[in-house]
């Protein structure tokens, strides 16, 4: 199994990552999914302190207690929440980041985080304050690397200029090509991309047309309902399982080191994990997909 290095760090992960947001709160079932993923070679798991208001981290912690050295762990911070009232607010301050990580460490039953991500961000944030928090945690050995989870170009560019981030997590798939304007720049600066949502909530799967129909008249992002159905029909006509094509497409650019997919049951996990060793897509097919789909730009929150 080939592994890919995250940024300038020494962390290595496979080209598929298990996103844990959709695991649910049934601890036994969730741990079975994580365990099965590890058996398949998916050693990188992604969570966040806000997922189920800490419950997700706690479930993962019960698994990590016996498997910590086998797992590369990513979690996120920035949402100041109350697990009892289910209220939260955005808080990227140094004070919150350096405090919240200790809660995450306790829930995860570990003394370090491999990759720690800011769970969002705007240009109005105290960015230097946030960066200082991550740098101090890294120097203390509490985290191995840090980055941000955002698709806002202006925010990403500020962190590219002002920090030593190793990774950016962005929603990226064949129907949402907004991150592509940044991929070359990120690659040049040795900042790795983790592509979340590669299957576009099922629209890039064997049930593509069913999920697309459920979107109704609004369609999806830059696609109206008719365009969405037409585009998916053309992608299906390529004769390659759409799940495979979806993973191959986002992993084609060298900036993208891993595709982050979710699984709420073992069947979904096994269906997707088979593409851990899928061949790379040809340049010709990559260009054909780009011709079929729309190139889009993130229009909000730009400088």
Phi, then psi, of 188 in degrees rounded to 5? -65, -30
**What percentage of residues in the chain have a pLDDT greater than 90?**
85
Given this model, what pLDDT does residue 160 score?
A: 97
pLDDT of residue 298: 82
What pLDDT is recorded for position 194?
98
**Cα 94 to Cα 143: distance, rounded to the nearest angstrom:** 15
Inside any domain, residue 238: no
Structure confidence at residue 188 as a pLDDT band (50, 70, 90): very high
Buried b (16+ CB within 10 A) or exposed e, 287-302: eebeebbeebebeeee
Contact 74, 47 (CB under 8 A): yes
Mean pLDDT, rounded, for 143-158: 95
Q: Are 200 and 156 in contact (CB under 8 A)?
A: no
What pLDDT is recorded for position 301? 58
Average pLDDT estimate for 205-215: 88
Specify if 209 maps to a domain: no
Distance, C-alpha 245 to centroid of its chain: 18
Q: Are 194 and 46 in contact (CB under 8 A)?
A: yes
Q: CATH number of the domain that 85 lies in?
A: 3.20.20.100
**Is 249 among the residues known to form the active site?**
no
Residue with the larger pLDDT of the pair 299 and 284? 284
Where are the extended beta strands (E) located within 113-255?
113-118, 143-149, 167-171, 192-196
pLDDT at 146 over 70: yes
Residue 153 has pLDDT above 80, yes or no: yes
When pLDDT is averaged across residues 204-211 and rounded to a whole number, the result is 90
Residues of the domain holding 163: 4-202+247-278
Mean pLDDT within 63-89? 92
Contact present, 118 and 165 (Cβ < 8 Å): no
**Quick one: pLDDT band at residue 302, thresholds 50, 70, 90?**
low
Q: Indicate whether 275 pLDDT > 70.
A: yes
Residue 146 lies in a domain: yes
Nearest to 122 by CA among 156, 93, 99, 97: 156
Average pLDDT along the chain: 94
Q: Span 259-288, mean pLDDT?
A: 93
Give domain status of residue 164, yes or no.
yes
Compute the distance between CA of residue 200 and CA of residue 141 in angstroms, rounded to an integer: 36
Which pTM value belongs to this model?
A: 0.95
pLDDT of residue 303: 52
User: What DSSP string describes 212-251?
Assistant: HHHTGGG-BTTB-HHHHHHHHHHHHTT-S-HHHHHHHHHH
- Does 147 reside within a domain? yes
Q: How do residues 92-124 score in pLDDT, each as one tens digit?
A: 999 999 999 999 999 999 999 999 999 999 999
Unique residue bearing structure tokens 């979690």:
75
pLDDT of 227:
94
- Would you say residue 1 has pLDDT above 90? no
- Do the domain assignments include residue 231? no
Domain count, the chain: 1
**Domain contains 95:** yes
- Which one of the listed residues 51, 146, 159, 298 is annotated catalytic? 51
Measured CA to CA, the distance from residue 205 to residue 193 in angstroms comes to 22
> How far is it, in rounded angstroms, from Cα 128 to Cα 161?
11
Distance, CA of 110 to CA of 93 (rounded, Å): 23
Closest CA to 192 of 16, 1, 5, 2: 5
CB contact burial 92-122 (16+ within 10 A = b; e otherwise): bbbebbbebbeebbebbbbebbbbbbbbbbe
pLDDT band of residue 296 (cuts 50, 70, 90) is confident
Asked if residue 234 is part of any domain, the answer here is: no
What are phi and psi for residue 110, nearest 5 degrees?
-145, 165
């Amino acid at each position: 199994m080939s592994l890919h290095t995250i940024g300038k760090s020494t962390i290595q992960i496979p080209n598929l990552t298990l996103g844990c947001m959709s695991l649910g709160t049934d601890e036994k079932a969730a741990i079975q999914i994580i365990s099965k993923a590890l058996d398949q070679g998916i050693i990188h798991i992604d969570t966040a302190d806000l997922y189920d208001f800490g419950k997700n981290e706690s479930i993962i912690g019960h698994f990590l207690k016996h498997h910590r050295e086998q797992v590369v762990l990513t979690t996120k911070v920035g949402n100041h929440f109350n697990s009892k009232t289910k209220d939260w607010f955005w808080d990227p301050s140094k004070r919150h980041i350096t405090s919240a990580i200790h809660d995450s460490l306790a829930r995860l039953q570990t003394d370090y985080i491999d990759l720690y991500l800011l769970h969002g961000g705007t240009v109005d944030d105290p960015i230097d304050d946030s960066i200082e928090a991550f740098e101090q945690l890294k120097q203390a050995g509490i985290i191995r690397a840090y980055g941000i989870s955002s698709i806002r170009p202006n925010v990403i560019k500020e962190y590219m200029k002002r920090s030593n981030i190793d990774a950016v997590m962005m929603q990226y798939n064949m129907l949402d090509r907004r991150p592509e304007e940044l991929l070359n720049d990120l690659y040049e600066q040795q900042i790795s991309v983790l592509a979340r949502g590669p299957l576009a909530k099922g629209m890039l799967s064997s049930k593509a047309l069913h999920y697309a129909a459920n979107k109704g008249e609004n369609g999806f992002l830059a696609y109206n309902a008719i365009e969405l159905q037409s585009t998916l029909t053309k992608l299906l006509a390529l004769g390659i399982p759409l799940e495979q094509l979806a993973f191959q497409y986002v992993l084609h650019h060298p900036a993208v080191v891993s595709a982050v997919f979710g699984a709420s049951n073992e069947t979904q996990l096994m269906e997707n994990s088979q593409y851990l060793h899928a061949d790379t897509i040809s340049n010709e097919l990559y260009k054909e997909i780009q011709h079929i789909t729309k190139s889009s730009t993130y229009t909000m929150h730009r400088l």
